[in-house]
Amino acid sequence: MHPNPTDRFASFLVFATLLGLLFWPAGARAAPFQPLNSPATREHLPGKFVWADLFTTDPVAATKFYSGLFGWTANVINRDGKAYTVFSNGSRPVAGLAPRPPSNTKRPSRWISYIAVTNMSSTLKLVTKAGGQVRAAARDFPDRGIQAIIADNEGSTIGLLQSSSGDAADEEPKPGDWNWFELFVKQPQVVSAFYRDIVSYEMAPDLRTERKGDLLLSSGGLARAGVAPLPAREDAKPGWLGVVRVANIDEALARAVKLGGEVLVAPRPAAYESRFAIIADSTGGTVGLVEYVNDANPTSRP
């Protein structure tokens, strides 16, 4: 699935710096996260998006919003005075919520997604070599695996995760699952090459869109993410957008508004006979929604 939002979305891609968002101080005891996969798998699928964390100053409001919107259940883990919430879609964990310190300046919540890697140490060396930055150094979290957060060569932030329980097999996303990830950048070819160099993605033009410059990043024979050009506007900032599948986009948008969210981009046709929209949650976090008409989303995305 490849969303094709209009230029209006660019004004909502204003991201704060990651410094001050994370609660991973050096030497601190790591929280007891649950494994991503139970039972563990023996599969490793580098390039697959396997997790996402919401960083927010209002965890109560954010939890209420996403539980009400997607039906996610929330399990709060406390350790050393810090709380971390694990969201599950049914029995499967799909995302986390990490509180960040309150600020005098109101800061919107922010989603950060994680790409699977097989060797964190070597991947981080490639990040700096390719012109990126390590924003949060690698940490080994019990049961979860090794995590790090980086910025690419245009400053967009993304997580890396070497899962200790393997990676889940590629299956058709269900309503409530992450379905797609799109990166909006100034130079799609240059930034796509960055991700090719660090994760060994295959780069190819996205032939499903009429917009020039759109690219696909693929691994294991499947498209994992799209890279699209930003409009030529001063307020347009590079950044990633995660997209969640919903059963009925109109009903989901109505719930989002009722829960205090805002519709940023109204539903419109997209690839694979889908309808796509973008919302801001009640705390300012941005997320995409997609509905597949007549269940047309293919298991394999060429």
Task: Supply the pLDDT for residue 216.
Answer: 96
For the chain, how far is it from start to end, CA to CA, in angstroms?
10
Tell me, what's the pLDDT at 273?
82
Q: Indicate the fold that domain 7-13+170-295 takes in CATH.
A: 2,3-Dihydroxybiphenyl 1,2-Dioxygenase; domain 1 (3.10.180)
274-280 β-sheet, strand order = 202-205, 215-219, 222-229, 178-185, 239-245, 286-292, 274-280, 262-270
pTM higher than the cut 0.75: yes
List average pLDDT for each run of 10 residues in the chain, which is 302 residues long. 43 35 38 71 88 96 98 89 90 92 80 96 97 95 89 97 85 94 96 97 87 90 94 82 97 98 94 90 97 64 45
User: Are the C-beta atoms of residues 266 and 275 closer than 8 Å to each other?
Assistant: no
Check if 7-13+170-295 and 49-163 are the same fold: yes
Look up the CATH superfamily of 49-163.
Answer: 2,3-Dihydroxybiphenyl 1,2-Dioxygenase, domain 1 (3.10.180.10)
The domain spans of the chain are: 7-13+170-295, 49-163
DSSP state, 82?
E
Give the model's pLDDT for residue 9.
45
Copy the structure tokens of residue 93: 């964990």
Strands 110-116 and 262-270: unpaired
- Note whether 85 and 33 are within 8 A (CB): no
